[in-house]
Amino acid sequence: MELYQIRHFAAVAETGSFTKAAIRAAVSQPALSASIAKLEEEIGVKLFHRSPKAVTLTPAGRRFHMTAQEVLGACNKVKAELRASVADRPLRIGVLRTLPSAQLARLIETLQGELPETRIELVDGTREQLHARLAGRKLLACISLNVESERGQRSVELLREDYGLVVSLNHRFASYESIQLSDLNGERFIVRTHCETFHSTTKLLAERGIRCQVVYRTDQDDRALALVGAGMGVALLPVIFDAPNVKKVPVRDFDAKRVISLHWNEDVADDRLDRVVAFATTHNWVSSDREDFETPRRLSGRVAIAKSTGR
């Protein structure tokens, strides 16, 4: 006995007609008749008196109808409870702490418009923290650096971008079309201690004998930008960062890049995840001021979801 057979039986019992029952059940009348016939064969009794004028329940049919109502009522209750539990559960997304605040705010504002019935919660963190929380099922998804996924996870690239030098509008570099790393020798430098390229960049400068005067160290990008704009020093940042009082200058011999991706566990049974993936891959990640750089590639045109094969 299948649940669809019980639904078909209840539709006939409540409409008194195979034709009307087929319409209610959204199946053809021959399919519904075959379903009822199979049900009667399985339980070994006739459930309906059939006549050209009417379809009525037999005594066995009346007893079965009472049970069918209980079964269908229980199923509907469970479905309603499950749907309610999903709707009440917050949509928890991890975000890389080095994503610009303005970009993040715009992302969440538009995502909330796409999912007005959903309570969105954000979890800030480093790449390592976010992927640990995702593996521990504490996040529905995370926007982080592109890394080799764990087994059972999927990812899709959202953005590729270069790094560049950020200077104040009054700095001499602001009039340059580009610079090279050796031009930074002796410059006052604001160091982003949480930068993904921090160690490789420090090593590269040391290998080339370039010495910068570090005037401030911070793990807050907004503060670094504000101090650059105030003329305190220069900084290397991903080109997605923008501020009204700074200029971004390409560095010809510094080819560091970063790839931002959306990551999630592939066995998550939450239909909101499909909407988040679709939204993130079509979101406009491109900043407004890009004339000095190669425009970062927004990868919504080729949403190639990578299924992990494990490490």
Q: Which pLDDT value is given to residue 298?
A: 40
Cα 163–chain centre separation = 25
DSSP 214-233: EEEEES-HHHHHHHHHTTS-
**Fold (topology level) of 3-87:** Arc Repressor Mutant, subunit A (1.10.10)
Domains of the chain by residue range: 3-87, 90-160+258-307, 163-249
What tokens does 139 get? 């996040």
pLDDT band at 173 (very low <50, low <70, confident <90, very high): very high
Average pLDDT over every residue of 156-174: 92
Identical fold at 3-87 and 90-160+258-307?
no
pLDDT at 34 over 90: yes
Judged against a pLDDT cut of 90, whether residue 57 lies above it is answered with yes
CATH architecture, domain 90-160+258-307 = 3-Layer(aba) Sandwich (3.40)
- Classify the phi-psi angles of 186: left when phi > 0, otherwise alpha if psi is within -120 to 50, otherwise beta: left
Residue 298 CA: distances (Å) to CA of 61, 153, 231? 61, 22, 32
CATH number, domain 163-249, options 3.40.50.300, 3.40.190.290, 3.30.9.80, 3.30.70.2190: 3.40.190.290
Mean pLDDT of 66-79: 88
Q: Greater confidence, 285 or 67?
A: 67
Please report which confidence band the pLDDT of residue 88 belongs to, taking 50, 70 and 90 as the band edges.
low
Q: Among 203-217, 235-249, 257-271, where is mean pLDDT lowest?
A: 257-271
* Residue 294 confidence (pLDDT): 45
- Averaged pLDDT, 184-208: 90
Mean pLDDT, the chain, integer: 84
**pLDDT beyond 50 at 302:** no
Closest CA to 162 of 240, 107, 253, 71: 240
Compute the average pLDDT of residues 35-60.
91
pLDDT at site 284? 72
Question: Residue 308: its pLDDT value, please?
Answer: 37
With bands split at pLDDT 50, 70 and 90, how would you rate the model's confidence at 133?
A: very high
Predicted pLDDT of residue 151: 75
pLDDT surpassing 90 at residue 235: yes
* Contacts of 93 by beta carbon, 8 Å cutoff, 6+ apart: 120, 121, 122, 123, 139, 140, 141, 142, 143, 276
The three-state secondary structure class of 123 is strand
pLDDT at 292: 43
DSSP code at position 308: P
Which pTM was predicted? Answer: 0.60
More confident residue, 109 or 81: 109
- Give the model's confidence band at 311: pLDDT under 50 very low, under 70 low, under 90 confident, else very high: very low
* From 99-113, 220-234, 252-266, the region with the lowest mean pLDDT: 99-113
